[in-house]
């Protein structure tokens, strides 16, 4: 009370600054937890089960792309590892910010030892070509197993008194025919044998993914747009892609972020929006690779399929003819896929994704095998894992490998099967008992 007998109200004490900051942080954390809970519920209802964001991302990611960036720094994006090639769409570089001694980039921008300039008679040289599965089979890193070369030198003697086998990596991620044919045209004269491991990337050209476009078999991969920004008709999607890839590299290497369903939703939505924007912009152009590599819009799905399958067979014949003209032999291998020939483990079932292409893949393989009647050496590896109970597939098509040693059950099994068939085709003398 004051001197007049009136009651005086004391001013309310303001919480200390630290208390206010702590309270605000608690509110923010609770809001973030509520958002995270909401997206977790969303994915649970849409997928019917609880799946971690890491598992969901791995099921959608390309093991080859992750492999090319995960062993580098956060600033290295996949688009920083590739650059244009005038005939092959893209090859690789180990320039900053992606320099890394673990990846062996050779004199033509591919992986492994340098390509020779002349044919030698001391070793039997083989080039393996194809897409990312073939590239990882041929080996991308220094000091890791060269599966086919090791199997050939362990179990077979090369012809004509040669000392040993050497296998060169002529494959790359996203490649498909006619890139194998082009590799044979460019380098066939320095090799004794050409081996292709293919089929999975090519089968996509037998499907119509976008209803507004019917594509020729030669339709280039997405790497074409990646290394040729003007192909999209605008640099804005490329800038958006650069920003998104930068964030994705940061996101992928941060365990806390990778565990968030909310962050996954934002990244996935941004990727989808960017891809849709690029396709929509290209579709508005009068001339682009969409028009250059399209077929008549009035063709039915069956007509497109039969036309592209004939194109595929043409490139088998062309590759074989190019090899023969340069003094080399060619053998084609239809790569295994999780749709057939293996009892999938529970781990594999979680990563192989959509298997609805089974009938198309089997039909494609059967059609390509008929080329044997024309003297083309074609072999199917679809059942190569029929007796392999171990986990082989790391995603929808790539084989898993130990990150430290490079050992890979899938690549070892495939190497053994390819070596045996090459021995029959090219008359190698067997020197092992198994």
The superfamily in CATH containing domain 83-207+294-430 is SGNH hydrolase (3.40.50.1110)
130 or 48: which leads in pLDDT? 130
Closest CA to 165 of 433, 425, 422: 422
How much is the average pLDDT of 281-303? 80
Q: What is the pLDDT confidence band of residue 166, given thresholds at 50, 70 and 90?
A: very high
CA distances from 340 to 357, 376, 381, 386 (A): 10, 24, 10, 9
Question: What is the DSSP-derived secondary structure letter of residue 235?
Answer: S
**β-strand partners of 89:** 85
- The predicted pLDDT at position 250 comes to 65
Lowest mean pLDDT among 246-255, 276-285, 361-370, 371-380: 246-255
Percent of the chain scored above 90 by pLDDT?
52
Q: What is the pLDDT confidence band of residue 12, given thresholds at 50, 70 and 90?
A: low
Q: What is the pLDDT confidence band of residue 110, given thresholds at 50, 70 and 90?
A: very high
Helices 53-60 and 261-283 pack at an angle, to 10 degrees, of: 30
Q: Which residues contact 116 (CB under 8 A, 6 or more apart)?
A: 125, 190
- The predicted pLDDT at position 23 comes to 82
Out of 78-87, 159-168, 211-220, give the one with best mean pLDDT. 159-168
For 389-424, the pLDDT digits (tens) are 999 999 999 999 999 999 999 999 999 999 999 999
Question: CA 216, CA 308: separation in Å to the nearest integer?
Answer: 6
Closest CA to 54 of 429, 395, 415: 395
Token representation of residue 137? 């089979």
- The predicted pLDDT at position 330 comes to 98
Residue 1, pLDDT above cutoff 60:
no
Token representation of residue 279? 């396709």
- The predicted pLDDT at position 179 comes to 97
Question: CA 64, CA 140: separation in Å to the nearest integer?
Answer: 10
Question: CA 296, CA 275: separation in Å to the nearest integer?
Answer: 24
- The predicted pLDDT at position 240 comes to 64
Residue 211, pLDDT above cutoff 50:
no
For 308-324, the pLDDT digits (tens) are 999 999 999 999 999 99
4, burial (CB in 10 Å: exposed 0-12, middle 13-18, buried 19+): exposed
- What is the rounded (10 degree) CA torsion for 418, 424, 427, 429? 70
Residue 10, pLDDT above cutoff 60:
no
Lowest mean pLDDT among 23-27, 30-34, 207-211, 364-368: 207-211
Percent of the chain scored above 70 by pLDDT?
85
Residue 209, pLDDT above cutoff 70:
no
CA distances from 136 to 110, 287, 426 (A): 11, 35, 24
Number of residues in the chain: 434
**β-strand partners of 194:** 127, 330
Contact 167, 146 (CB under 8 A): yes
Domain map of the chain by residue range?
A: 18-50, 83-207+294-430
What does residue 173 show for φ and ψ, rounded to 5 degrees? -60, 135
334 or 95: which leads in pLDDT? 334
Question: CA 116, CA 68: separation in Å to the nearest integer?
Answer: 25
Question: CA 94, CA 330: separation in Å to the nearest integer?
Answer: 31
Closest CA to 148 of 415, 365, 433: 415
- The predicted pLDDT at position 94 comes to 84
For 381-397, the pLDDT digits (tens) are 999 999 999 999 999 99
How much is the average pLDDT of 157-185? 96
Question: CA 179, CA 427: separation in Å to the nearest integer?
Answer: 28
Full DSSP string of 176-209: -TTHHHHHHHHHGGG-SEEEEEESHHHHGGGS--
Q: What is the pLDDT confidence band of residue 87, given thresholds at 50, 70 and 90?
A: very high
Looking at every residue in the chain, the average pLDDT score rounds to 86
Handedness of CA 105, 108, 112, 118 (dihedral sign): negative
- The predicted pLDDT at position 212 comes to 47
For 243-280, the pLDDT digits (tens) are 666 666 666 666 677 778 888 888 777 777 776 776 67
What does residue 165 show for φ and ψ, rounded to 5 degrees? -100, 145
- The predicted pLDDT at position 423 comes to 97
């Amino acid at each position: 009370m004051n001197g007049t007998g009136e009651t005086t109200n004391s001013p309310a004490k303001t919480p200390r600054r630290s208390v206010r900051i702590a309270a605000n942080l608690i509110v923010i954390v609770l809001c973030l937890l509520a958002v995270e809970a909401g997206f977790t519920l969303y994915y649970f209802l849409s997928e019917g089960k609880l799946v971690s964001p890491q598992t969901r991302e791995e099921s959608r990611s390309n093991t080859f792309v992750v492999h090319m960036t995960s062993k580098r720094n956060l600033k290295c994006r996949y688009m920083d590892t590739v650059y244009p090639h005038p005939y092959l769409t893209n090859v690789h570089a180990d320039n900053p910010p992606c320099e890394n001694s673990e990846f062996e980039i050779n004199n033509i921008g591919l992986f492994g030892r340098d390509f020779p300039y002349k044919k030698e008679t001391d070793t039997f040289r083989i080039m393996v070509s194809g897409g990312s599965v073939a590239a990882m089979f041929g080996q991308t890193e220094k000091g890791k197993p060269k599966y086919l070369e090791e199997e050939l030198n362990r179990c077979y003697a090369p012809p004509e008194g040669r000392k040993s086998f050497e296998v060169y990596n002529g494959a790359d991620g996203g490649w498909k025919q006619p890139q194998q044919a082009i590799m044979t045209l460019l380098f066939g004269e320095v090799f004794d044998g050409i081996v292709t491991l293919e089929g999975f990337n090519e089968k996509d050209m037998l499907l119509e993914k976008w209803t507004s476009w019917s594509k020729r078999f030669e339709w280039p991969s997405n790497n074409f747009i990646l290394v040729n920004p003007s192909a999209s008709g605008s640099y804005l999607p490329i800038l958006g892609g650069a920003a998104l890839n930068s964030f994705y590299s940061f996101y992928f290497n941060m365990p806390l972020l990778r565990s968030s369903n909310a962050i996954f939703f934002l990244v996935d939505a941004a990727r989808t929006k960017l891809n849709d924007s690029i396709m929509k912009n290209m579709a508005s152009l009068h001339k682009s690779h969409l028009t250059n590599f399209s077929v008549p819009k009035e063709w039915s799905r069956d007509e497109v399929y039969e036309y592209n399958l004939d194109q595929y067979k043409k490139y088998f014949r062309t590759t074989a003819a190019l090899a023969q003209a340069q003094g080399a032999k060619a053998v084609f291998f239809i790569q295994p896929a999780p749709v057939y020939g293996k009892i999938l483990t529970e781990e594999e079932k979680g990563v192989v994704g959509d298997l609805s292409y089974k009938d198309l893949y089997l039909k494609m393989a059967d059609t390509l095998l008929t080329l044997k009647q024309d003297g083309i050496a074609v072999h199917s590896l679809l059942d190569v894992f029929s007796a392999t109970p171990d986990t082989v597939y790391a995603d929808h098509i790539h084989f898993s490998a130990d990150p430290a040693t490079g050992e890979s059950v899938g690549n070892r099994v495939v190497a053994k099967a390819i070596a045996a068939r090459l021995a029959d085709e090219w008359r190698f003398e067997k020197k092992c008992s198994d």
